[in-house]
C-alpha cells in the first residue's frame, strides 16, 4: 500500500513520497521547492497490439504476432509556493529538469529499476493560485524498464567456456559479450541453448603466424626515456623550431608525453621534439616496410590565444616523411581545430573539428582520442572518428620506416598553459609487419586484444574501435538474448589457440 498524500496539506519534513521521481539522478522534491509527487500512473500492465490475418471466409482470423506499444507515464504532483516569485522560480527549475530527452526515470518504490522517457506534456494547472495540482506526462518509446545494476557473469562450465545465467527479468534482454585474448586467435563464436549462433573471424584460420613477425618495437615508454632532439629537424614542419623540451605529465590518472619548455623560436613556433630510432626486430632486421601504429591522444583548447600543434611522423633513415598525422589549432578567436593526414611529405586531407569538451564535436577529448595508422606497401589506412580513410601512394611502397618523431609546439608565446596541459599522447604502440604475411593474416585477433559484441544493436568493437567486418553475415542478433529463467551460452574459439577470458554483461528487462 502507498502512503496517502493529502493534496491540501503543505509538505512537512524531507520524507519523500512513495512514488517520488528521481529524474536523471535528481529527486524532484529535493530540486524544486514546494514540489511533491502525489501519485503516478502508467507503470503497470503494458498494452500490446495483436496482428492477425483473415483467411478466406473462415470464421475469425489467424493470429500472427503481438507487439508492445510505447508507454505513457503520468506523474501527478502538487506545487505550493509562498509567493508569486517563488512559484515562478519553482516552475523555472522544474521545466529545466524536464527539458532532457530520453531521461532516466527511477521511482522511490522501485529504486533498482528505471524507465527511459521524454516529457511531452506538463498539463494544465489552476490559474491564479500558488498552490496547484498538475500532471507531467512522459512518453516512453521503449516501453520496458531496466535494472539499474548492470550484471557481469563469468563462464563456469566446460573449462570456463560456458556461461550459466539465471535471468530474473520478465522480458528478454540482449547481453554484451566480451573476450580478452590471452594469445593469438583466429575465431570467436557464441552459441545459446536454442542453437542461435554469433560468429566472428574465420573458423578455418590456421596457426600459421610467428607473432614475432608482427611484433611491438616501440612504445610510449621509449619516448619517455628518450632525450629531447634539440639538434634534429621535425620533418613534417622543418620550418618551425624544435629547440625546447617535452616532459611526462599526468592527467586523468594517466601519463602523457606533453609540452615541456619552448626553447628558441624558429619560424614563429617553438617547442619540443623526440625522435626514436626503431630497434631491430627479433630476427635482427632493422627498418619496417609495413607497419601498424595504435595511439591515443588528448587535444582540448577552447579559449582565444590557445594555439599550437602536435604531430607524429614515420620517417626513413634519410629523413623522408613516409606518413604522419598532425593536430593543430591556429585561430585566435574560437575553438576550431584541425587534423591532417600526411604521406610522402605532403598533406593528404584535413579534417576540421571543435576542440571543446563536447563529444559530438571533439573526437580528441579525453574519453575518445583513439586512433591508428597502417601501411601495407603503397596503401595507407588511417582512422578518424568512426571511419577508415585509405590512400594508395605509389611513391611510398618501398619506403622503410627507420625513425618515429613526436613533436609538440606552440605558436610564439600565444598558447596559454591550460592548452599546453591538454595536448599530449598517453598510448603508443608501433608494430612491425611482414608484407607477405600481412596479405593473408592467419590470426584475426592478437594477444591482448579486447573484443566486444553488443547483441542489442549488433555493434562490434576491437580495441575500442569499430570492427563490424569481422562478423558473419548470418549472425542471429535478433534471436540471441537472455530469456526468463536459466540460460546457457557456449563460447568457442580456434582449436589451436589459448582460451580467451570471456565475460558477459547484461541488464534485466521488465514488462
DSSP E strands in 344-392: the ranges are 346-354, 370-376, 379-382, 390-392
In 3D space, the residue among 43, 68, 41 whose CA is nearest the CA of residue 123 turns out to be 41
pLDDT of 332 reads 58
pLDDT of 8 reads 43
User: Contact 388/466 with Cβ under 8 angstroms?
Assistant: no
Q: What are phi and psi of 295, to 5 degrees?
A: -150, 165
pLDDT of 318 reads 96
Q: Would you give per-residue pLDDT tens digits along the chain (511 residues)? A: 444 444 444 444 468 999 999 999 999 999 999 999 999 999 998 887 777 788 877 777 787 768 899 999 999 999 999 999 999 999 999 999 999 999 999 999 999 999 999 999 887 888 888 999 999 999 999 999 999 999 999 999 999 999 999 999 999 999 999 999 999 999 999 999 999 999 999 998 876 644 446 789 999 999 999 999 998 899 999 998 889 999 999 988 899 999 999 899 888 889 999 999 999 988 788 889 999 999 999 887 666 567 889 999 999 999 999 999 999 987 655 678 899 999 999 999 999 988 776 656 778 887 788 999 999 999 999 999 889 999 999 999 999 999 999 999 988 776 655 566 678 999 999 999 873 334 445 578 999 999 999 999 999 999 999 997 899 989 999 999 999 999 999 999 999 999 999 999 999 999 9
pLDDT of 437 reads 39
Cell 500472427 belongs to which residue? 64
| Residues near 263 by beta carbon (within 8 Å), at least 6 away in sequence | 230, 241, 242, 243, 244, 245, 270, 271, 272
pLDDT of 197 reads 96
Count Cβ atoms below 10 Å from residue 434 Cβ, excluding itself: 17
Domains in the chain, CATH or no CATH each: 21-147 (2.40.30.200), 151-209+442-510 (2.60.120.860), 212-438 (2.60.120)
Across-strand partners of 174?
A: none
Distance CA 276, CA 220 (A): 10
pLDDT of 356 reads 72
Assigned C-alpha cell, 68: 508492445
Assigned C-alpha cell, 77: 504532483
pTM of the model: 0.51
| Residues near 231 by beta carbon (within 8 Å), at least 6 away in sequence | none
Distance CA 499, CA 73 (A): 47
User: Contact 177/480 with Cβ under 8 angstroms?
Assistant: no
User: Contact 323/390 with Cβ under 8 angstroms?
Assistant: no
pLDDT of 95 reads 93
Distance CA 35, CA 28 (A): 7
Distance CA 65, CA 49 (A): 9
pLDDT of 65 reads 67
Distance CA 293, CA 428 (A): 7
Assigned C-alpha cell, 162: 560456458
pLDDT of 4 reads 43
Distance CA 85, CA 128 (A): 13
pLDDT of 304 reads 57
User: Contact 396/322 with Cβ under 8 angstroms?
Assistant: yes
214: three-class secondary structure by DSSP: helix
Assigned C-alpha cell, 23: 529524474
pLDDT of 61 reads 75
What number of CA atoms fall less than 13 Å from residue 188's CA on the CB side? 27
Amino acid at each position: 500500500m502507498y502512503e496517502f498524500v493529502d493534496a491540501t496539506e503543505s509538505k512537512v519534513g524531507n520524507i519523500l513520497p512513495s512514488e517520488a521521481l528521481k529524474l536523471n539522478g535528481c529527486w524532484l522534491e529535493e530540486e524544486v521547492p514546494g514540489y511533491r509527487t502525489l501519485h503516478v500512473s502508467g507503470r503497470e500492465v503494458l498494452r500490446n497490439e495483436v496482428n492477425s490475418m483473415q483467411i478466406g471466409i473462415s470464421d475469425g482470423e489467424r493470429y500472427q504476432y503481438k507487439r508492445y506499444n510505447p508507454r505513457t507515464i503520468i506523474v501527478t504532483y502538487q506545487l505550493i509556493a509562498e509567493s508569486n516569485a517563488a512559484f515562478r522560480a519553482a516552475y523555472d527549475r522544474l521545466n529545466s529538469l524536464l527539458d532532457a530527452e530520453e531521461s532516466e526515470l527511477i521511482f522511490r518504490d522501485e529504486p533498482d529499476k528505471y524507465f527511459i522517457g521524454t516529457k511531452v506534456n506538463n498539463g494544465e494547472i489552476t490559474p491564479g493560485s500558488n498552490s496547484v495540482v498538475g500532471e507531467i506526462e512522459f512518453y516512453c518509446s521503449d516501453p520496458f524498464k531496466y535494472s539499474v545494476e548492470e550484471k557481469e557473469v563469468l563462464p563456469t562450465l566446460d573449462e570456463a567456456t560456458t556461461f550459466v545465467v539465471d535471468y530474473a527479468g520478465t522480458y528478454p534482454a540482449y547481453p554484451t559479450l566480451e573476450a580478452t585474448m590471452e594469445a593469438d586467435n583466429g575465431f570467436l563464436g557464441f552459441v545459446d541453448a536454442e542453437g542461435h549462433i554469433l560468429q566472428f573471424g574465420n573458423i578455418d584460420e590456421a596457426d600459421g603466424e610467428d607473432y614475432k613477425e608482427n611484433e611491438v618495437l616501440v612504445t610510449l615508454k621509449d619516448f619517455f626515456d628518450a632525450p629531447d632532439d634539440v639538434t634534429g629537424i621535425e620533418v613534417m614542419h622543418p620550418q618551425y623550431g624544435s629547440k625546447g623540451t617535452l616532459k611526462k605529465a599526468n592527467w586523468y590518472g594517466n601519463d602523457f608525453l606533453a609540452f615541456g619548455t619552448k626553447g628558441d623560436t624558429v619560424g614563429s613556433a617553438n617547442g619540443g621534439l623526440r625522435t626514436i630510432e626503431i630497434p631491430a626486430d627479433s630476427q635482427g632486421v632493422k627498418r619496417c616496410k609495413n607497419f601498424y601504429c595504435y595511439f591515443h591522444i588528448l587535444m582540448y583548447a577552447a579559449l582565444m590565444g590557445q594555439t599550437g600543434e602536435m604531430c607524429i611522423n614515420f620517417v626513413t633513415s634519410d629523413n623522408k616523411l613516409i606518413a604522419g598525422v598532425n593536430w593543430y589549432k591556429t585561430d585566435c578567436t574560437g575553438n576550431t581545430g584541425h587534423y591532417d593526414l600526411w604521406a610522402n611529405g605532403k598533406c593528404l586531407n584535413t579534417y576540421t573539428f571543435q576542440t571543446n569538451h563536447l563529444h559530438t564535436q571533439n573526437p580528441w577529448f579525453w574519453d575518445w582520442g583513439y586512433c591508428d595508422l597502417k601501411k601495407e606497401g603503397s596503401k595507407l589506412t588511417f582512422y578518424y572518428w568512426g571511419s577508415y580513410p585509405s590512400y594508395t601512394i605509389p611513391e611510398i611502397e618501398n619506403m622503410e620506416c627507420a625513425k618515429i618523431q613526436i613533436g609538440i609546439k606552440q605558436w610564439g608565446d600565444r598558447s596559454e598553459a591550460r592548452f599546453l596541459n591538454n595536448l599530449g599522447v598517453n598510448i603508443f604502440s608501433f608494430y612491425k609487419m611482414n608484407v607477405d604475411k600481412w596479405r593473408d593474416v592467419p590470426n584475426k585477433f592478437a594477444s591482448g586484444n579486447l573484443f566486444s559484441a553488443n547483441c542489442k544493436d549488433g555493434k562490434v568493437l576491437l580495441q575500442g574501435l569499430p570492427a563490424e567486418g569481422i562478423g558473419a553475415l548470418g549472425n542471429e542478433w535478433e534471436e540471441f538474448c537472455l530469456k526468463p529463467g536459466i540460460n546457457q551460452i557456449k563460447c568457442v574459439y580456434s582449436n589451436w589457440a589459448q582460451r580467451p577470458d570471456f565475460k558477459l554483461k547484461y541488464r534485466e528487462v521488465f514488462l
